[in-house]
Structure 1
Amino acid sequence: MNTAHPDIVVVSPDGDYLMIVEVKLQNGDARRRDAIGQLKHLMAAMGCSLGLAVTGEHVVLLRDSLERSHGESIEVVGEANLPNYLRPSADEEWSRANGLEFAARVQRWLEELKQAPNLETLPEDVRDLFAEPVVSLLRIGEIRAAGPRWSRVAS
């Protein structure tokens, strides 16, 4: 049985999921809605109250207030444009890619945010979205891929 899993997880030292991240290379409203729906399902299934959906050029923050069961209280908190340096290239190579390289790029970005002394270099909308709670979870948790990623070099 093939079970869905997030692309990136942030795990506490005790092994609890602090945040899960769903990454989709393609952009657009339909793709963003699909990613948000999948992320809500994963958050409820994994018992995680914070999630990020990264779709092409945007990042969406979701939070579960835990007021209702089965993920019914998961809401979109906010959305921001990804920094230009993080966005996928419009060239043909990226359009043929299956998103694994983009997920790795997003993971490296989150790891860099964890190490950054401040978030002043981020665009204002991203800085506001990643306010203290999100950055604090990144800093106390371990950021890692939720499953194997196959490199083009290895194939």
Structure 2
Amino acid sequence: MIKTSQPDIVVTSQDGEYLMIVEVKLKDISINAQLIAQLKHTMASIGCSVGLVVTGERVILLRDSLEKYNGESIDVVGEAKLPDSLLPPADEQWKANPGMEFESRVQRWLEKLKLTASMDNLPNDLRNLLAEPIMSLLRIGEVRAAGPRWSKSAK
């Protein structure tokens, strides 16, 4: 049985609807079929039709076409390379924990993407992946951590 996990970053509407969920993994090797299945399950359980997996090397986009019930129509629709140079420096408070530092950097990058001009700096494959539908979700939504980051370090 696949368990529902809490995403690392969420994009929500003003009324609290999940527009996009983001799973952040520092190392690319942690991306596997189980992680994708878990993200699909989480998307279906919270009613979110767009998901991103962001690693140190790539961005993977999942989208629900809503053709089937219970997340069965969620598919990986594309991926693109993520140049490290695109990410801003991390908040100083996370410097001792590389995973949380990377998560913080990804959140700040998504917040920055809300500005239309920042799309111009993206490589073509990443610009195509994050085309207008995704950018619209970022612009209208609030990008935030899905939960307290400090709780992860207490484990």
TM category, shorter? 0.7 to 0.9
After TM superposition, the score normalised by the length of structure 2 is: 0.83
Residue 33 of structure 1 and its aligned partner are, at CA, apart by 3.1
Report the structure, 1 or 2, having the larger helix content. Answer: 2
Measure how far apart 1:117 and its partner are.
2.6
- Structure 1: distance between partners of 2:44 and 2:137: 18
Q: Residue 4 of structure 1 aligns to a residue in which SS?
A: coil
TM (normalized to structure 1)?
A: 0.83
Instruction: Kindly indicate whether the alpha-carbon contact (under 8 Å) linking 1:58 and 1:79 is maintained by their aligned counterparts in 2.
Output: yes
Count of residues paired in the alignment: 142
Distance in 2 separating the partners of 1:40 and 1:100? 23
- Identity, in percent, stands at 63
Task: Evaluate the alpha carbon distance shift between residue 105 and residue 41 of structure 1 in structure 2; reply closer, same or farther with a 3 A threshold.
Answer: same
RMSD: 2.3
In structure 1, stretches of 5+ residues that fail to align are 88-95
Tell whether the 8 Å contact from 1:86 to 1:105 is kept in structure 2 after alignment. no
Deviations 1:57-105 (A, max 9, x none): 1100000011111211001111000023157xxxxxxxx9461111111
Q: Is the CA contact 1:107–1:143 (under 8 Å) kept in the aligned structure 2?
A: yes
The aligned residue for residue 60 of structure 1 is: 60
Partner of 1:49: 49
Cα shift at 1:115: 2.1
Q: Any gaps of 5 or more consecutive residues in structure 2?
A: 88-95
- Displacement of 1:118: 4.8
Sort the Cα spacing of 1:23 and 1:34 in 2 relative to 1 into closer, same or farther, 3 A.
Answer: farther
Distance in 2 between residues matched to 1:58 and 1:11, nearest whole Å = 23
